[in-house]
Amino acid sequence: MSWNRPPFWKRGDVEEGSETRPLYPMMLERPELRWAFVRKIYTIVSIQLLLTIAVSSLVVFVKPISYFFVSSGVGLGLYIFLIILPFILLWPLYNYYQRHPINLLLLGLFTVSISFAVGLTCAFTSGKVILEAAFLTAVVVVSLTLYTFWAAKKGHDFSFLGPFLFGAVIILMLFGIIQLFFPMGKISNMIYGGLASLVFCGYIIFDTDNLIKRYGYDEYIWAAVALYLDIINLFLSLLNLFRAADN
């Protein structure tokens, strides 16, 4: 009878006629192991965010740093290099994500390079807009994280979001390139910021769901990078939206 059936995380795929295969491979482990992994990821992401706040604040409040990057050819070249550097670092991170402490050193360099880009974006933005974007980012991240944990406990699955989110990011990239060469004004920036915010809200749910169910214990670097990038991109999208509205 139905009340004798095991809970959803221990049931198999009914269509395949198997009742021993788990719905998600990671769901048969001891809960304390998964919770320890989750705490580890959020500890790493918290350290990354604190480092980002520290580096960005240094760039914002020490004015000669930001002016050096935008007023000289060397500074501009270094700024472009810092934007490209995170993409370059993804390759060694992929190859050494299991090698301690090299993986943490690469992750720290990855975080610092992104932090400089965030700081330079904030350096020429009003403090009110920065606070609005930061506050809303914190509220959204906490709310979506709690919702995803609640939904996972109820048996909901968000893996179907992957292809849609990937397609949305491609559209945003093309939109950004068009904006770069053919600026379409304040309204266009607001639309871009709003759409990007929605996309990265979806990524927070998707990557949190993966953190709960799918990441292996040796993939903590990738899990931390994914969540960190989701949060930073959400903040930058909201910053772009509020800055366009403020102007």
pLDDT digits (tens, 9 = 90+) for 175-214: 888 877 777 777 888 888 889 999 999 999 999 999 988 8
What is the rounded CA–CA span in Å between residue 24 and residue 150? 17
Domain range for residue 109?
2-246
What is the rounded CA–CA span in Å between residue 33 and residue 20? 21
Indicate whether this model's pTM tops 0.95.
no
pLDDT tens digits, residue range 216-239?
888 889 899 999 999 999 999 999
What is the rounded CA–CA span in Å between residue 27 and residue 34? 9
Residue 29 — pLDDT band, cuts 50, 70, 90? Answer: low
- Domains in the chain, number: 1
What residues contact residue 30 under an 8 Å CB cut-off, 6+ apart? Answer: none
pLDDT tens digits, residue range 3-25?
443 443 344 443 444 443 343 44
Write out the chain in H/E/C secondary structure: CHHHCCCHHHCCCHHHCCCCCCCCHHHHCCHHHHHHHHHHHHHHHHHHHHHHHHHHHHHHHCHHHHHHHHHCHHHHHHHHHHHHHHHHHHHHHHHHCCCCCHHHHHHHHHHHHHHHHHHHHHHCCCHHHHHHHHHHHHHHHHHHHHHHHHHHHCCCCCCCHHHHHHHHHHHHHHHHHHHHHCCCHHHHHHHHHHHHHHHHHHHHHHHHHHHHHCCCHHHHHHHHHHHHHHHHHHHHHHHHHHHHHHC
**Higher-confidence residue: 49 or 157?**
49
| Residue 142, pLDDT score | 96
Residue 147 — pLDDT band, cuts 50, 70, 90? Answer: very high
What residues contact residue 140 under an 8 Å CB cut-off, 6+ apart? Answer: 201, 204, 234
| Residue 82, pLDDT score | 82
Mean pLDDT of 118-137: 90
